[in-house]
Chain A
Amino acid sequence: MTATKTIEVALSTSGLGPDGRPIRIPLGAEGLTSAPPGLEPEFEGEHMLINIGPQHPATHGVLRLVLELDGETVVRCIPHVGYLHCGFEKIGEYRQYNQIIPWTDREDYLNSMGNNVAFVLGAERLFGVEITERCRVLRVIAMELSRIISHLVWLGTTCIDIGAFTPFLWCFQERENVYKLLEGWTGARLTTSGTRVGGMIADVPDGWTDGLRAFLNGFPKTLDQVDRMLTRNAIWVGRTVGLGVMSPEEALNYGLSGPMLRASGVAYDVRKDFPYLGYETYDFDVPVGTNGDVYDRFLVRFEELRQSVRILEQALARLPEGPVNIDDPRLILPPKHKATSEMESMIHHFKLVMEGPRPPIGECYVPIESPKGEKGYYFVSDGTAKPVRWRIRPPSYVNLSAIPRMVEGHLLSDVIAINASIDIVMGEIDR
């Protein structure tokens, strides 16, 4: 016991500063005021060009950063994206609404269930239908589960980037538990395609809610472990405090959203400000940072994990009985046994599969709070079964566009931490 205590004291920071935040312990050569004689003049004014990515584990995908360095300080940063571009929006113009749903999985693949829900929310507004109450609650569960997955992956990979390995294993273990739940529900771990316009692919199987309850009992303990490991850790604090600071005005002006914006102190959460799926009836808090640095982004995301657990518990408690899909033969396929035995159901089935449902002429944009920020699908319909335009509003694309502003003036090693704090998914950025 004594040994454990000694280690913990040595690793934690020396306490809180006057502003209530952990005191940053300087790492490396920050105390060094001048370079050893004979070294400095030779390198002065000479800039170096360094290329990070597109094949680099710390760029979280195929991001390429061209950096101009003065010594170790970044003078200029030019990001390159597009290595994964495959034209989702173009393909969507050639597909019926339900046929686009698999593409939404593959775009932000850490939040696939959330994207499925976001897509059908937009499509349902375009069709002008209202979903059932059970479906609403199930979709909230789906969205919060994918938020947990996305934040856990972010937390784990960021730990690895900064040099901690253990929390990564804890996070990925819990993530696997969520994937088991999603697999039991939709049959797939990552590419769930779990929703349909007007409902879900299926109701949750028997006993599924018990599995979710068991997960919710165990998960906060893991969070506490990670909390103890990171939040006061001298190395973690030293590597994250004061990096990539964005002021609230700047963050708004750059169009940041999600935890990036809230860490800067702007309390904008789509779930609270432009609610959908009845989020206004759930009791949860929106964590807001004060300094807008990498450490605050960590705190905001970490608190969001706990809040997701709260939302999930409330959703489980109120999950009503009843149908999942709306009762509308225009949109929902008839049950298989009817489609093979009744003439009318067979015709409906045929027309729905071959021609697809047709929304009225119109357009809509329904944003949701994805783990990365404000994500929305913008649909334009001309009355045919395929959208004229299907636009993805990618939060991490806009968040990443601020990276030159965030890294310039910082050290090369901090670029990795700042880039990790944006929580990018290249599938979503390049689409």
Chain B
Amino acid sequence: MDCSESAMMQATSRRALLLGGASFAAWAYLPKFARAADGRDPRFVVMILRGALDGLATVAPLGDPDYAGLHGAIALRGDGPNAAVMLDAFFGLHPAMPEFARMYRAKQAAVVHAVATSYRDRSHFDGQDVLESGFPGPGRVQSGWLNRALEALPKGERVTSALAVGPTTPLVLRGTAPTVGWAPTALPQAADDTAMRLLELYQHRDPVLASALTQGLQLEKQAQGDDMKPKPGGGGAAAMRLVARGAAKLMAADDGPRIGALAFDGWDTHANEGGPVGRLAQLLGGLDAALAEFQNGLGARWRDTVIVAATEFGRTARINGTEGTDHGTGTIALLAGGAVGGGRMITDWPGLKPANLYQARDLAPTTDLRAVIKGVLHDQFGIAERVLAEAVFPDSAPVKPMKGLVV
């Protein structure tokens, strides 16, 4: 009889009350050609890596004579302990990504290097707007390119109502085409990175709150003990895996969604980025595990799947004074899935000589990310080039869809 509002004062119950921040969102309909005559039932997953992934640290140009000097203490090496996994004679993959390496060897994964959106400044927010909206410049946040691509698809049955509208549909999938979503519950904590940034602000501006927050974070750790539960509110590696596992299960179902998007935060590695081990390595491990979860969870549907992981921009070629990297330009996009024409590096390598760097600091972009995505959308779903150039990525006619990404 007592009302719920009064009965929940205990800190132990709070996790059960809150929604996690990480989520998965998907188109609410099946494409009409699902399970068509040829038996192909294509799936497409977009992973947005927010915060700007260091492409040079993830897929390192070990063969470039300038790489080791620029990336300094955090550079990957081709030999010794924690050596990079060579993808070809020139590029080495970060050792935290063994699953991706396995997919690459199985020709089910590919890397596009020195890639960028059309955005050339260095604001995260604006960069993410461009990455997700598909417009040439920032400030257009009403709809995302994936949602506009859905509008070009023949609409079949609605996915069952087991999924509801999600609270955190990422911009890339936002728009007039209806979407559904899902998120893990509980574990509502703010990401460690957010807490650390706040702590730094407090240390400068509000010592009392700095002290309180420090103690609060310690209390939290103690309360958790050795409970290794992931923290989907942030960019924790386990959170990526958890969300991917759930999303894969949903997308594997016959009446489940075919096209979805996930967003993972935490890639803004300004300080102590780490090399073969460390902060970035942990995140890459989470991304790697998420890709593996999709392969496992999709089962037979993996054969028809393409996953694209992309980020708003890259990071400086030269490390900064705190063993990290600052906002840059060119970076990588990762493709994985049974339908990917994989086992290859896709790049027009610009080189890392000072004169070749963009504004003398960043990996110069030589591939437009829109060409990659257009290529996938064209090959996977047959979306016409004109639609891609006008509706999906407005004003992008000169950027031709890349061919041969899908087998």
- Please indicate whether A and B come from the same complex rather than being unrelated chains: no
